[in-house]
Amino acid sequence: MRFIVYGVGAIGGTVAAALARAGQEVVGIARGPMLDAIRERGLLLRTPGGAATARFPCHADPAEIDFTADDVILLTMKTQDTEAALMRLREVGVSDQPILCMQNGVANERMALRLFPNVYAVTVMMPSDYLTPGEVTAFSAPRHGILDIGRFPGGSDQVAANVAGAFERANIGAFVWPDAMASKYGKLLLNLRNVIEAALGIDADTGPFYLGVRAEGEAVYKAAGIVWRDIGAKDPRRQQLMQDKPVEGVPRAGGSSTQSLARGTGTIETDYLNGEIVLLGRLHGIATPANAWFCALARRMVREKLKPGAIDAREISAGLRHAAKGF
């Protein structure tokens, strides 16, 4: 079994480095400075227990890889880049290989299943940062993170079990769930906070604003008949396997949206997080003014090239009040 990690960033980098360090065959697909750094000096993985460099072949495009039937493809790019990545995989001849959607949100699996028959949902709980090319940091112990894995739209099989075993050997907690999407919907509720943190800054109190977007999320889930699993602080696995720990000399950069703004990537995934709640609300007649307002704010921050923490809490409060009046 060979792992193709498509999108070597914070999550993809942590996973690729951990698998490679565990003796698993890994091939990466990356771009820009990250690709150059991995090719030149490998990928440095920092953890609470220390730092180690992993070396594995890394390419700029799937066309540079000779895919085999034993490959397992991990999608670890942001959702806004998924469709183009899937089309590229199909163009180079990928067909029946397992496609694992290791991404936030719940839109990736449907995109993948349209083109490929063997799609797996993976809920990723892995506090990892990527700001410097060639370096990733995982801020949890004793495991690097926790993954829930299952076939999409439902079920489990030997592939899921084999993949989970490989992750376990790489010090990543992995659990096979026949209803993995329930876990992903639970994670989506947690990720509604991402844009709030990105706007206010990593040390700000996001709680009051998060309560509003989450309440809208739960309301649309109930209207849509969506079942979700709580994988937040009450999940006992977090205390057992994934305690937040500092890494010497490396401060936390924040969540995935905060990191996107900090790196100036020019895109942000909010339309597939808070935007998913907006979509469900429109489909089922539920007002979602708070989530819609934060989607607009995220687009503005990208457009104006604002850095994390550039928005004042008073501006958010005023914006949300105005948005609520429009519904």
CATH for 138 = 3.40.50.720
Count how many domains the chain has.
Answer: 1
Q: What is the pTM of this model?
A: 0.96
Domain containing 110 equals 2-325
- What stretch of H or E contains 111? helix 108-115
- What stretch of H or E contains 242? strand 242-244
The pair of three-digit structure tokens given for residue 195, joined into one six-digit string: 């844009």
Count the Cβ atoms, other than its own, within 10 Å of residue 151. Answer: 21
The pair of three-digit structure tokens given for residue 194, joined into one six-digit string: 């991402």
Q: What is the CA radius of gyration of the chain?
A: 19
Tens digits of pLDDT across the chain (327 residues)? 999 999 999 999 999 999 999 999 999 999 999 999 999 999 999 999 999 999 999 999 999 999 999 999 999 999 999 999 999 999 999 999 999 999 999 999 999 999 999 999 999 999 999 989 999 999 999 999 999 999 999 999 999 999 999 999 999 999 999 999 999 999 999 999 999 999 999 999 999 999 999 999 999 999 999 999 999 999 999 999 999 999 999 999 899 999 999 999 999 999 999 999 999 999 999 999 999 999 999 999 999 999 999 999 999 999 999 999 876
Cα–Cα dist 230/273, whole Å: 16
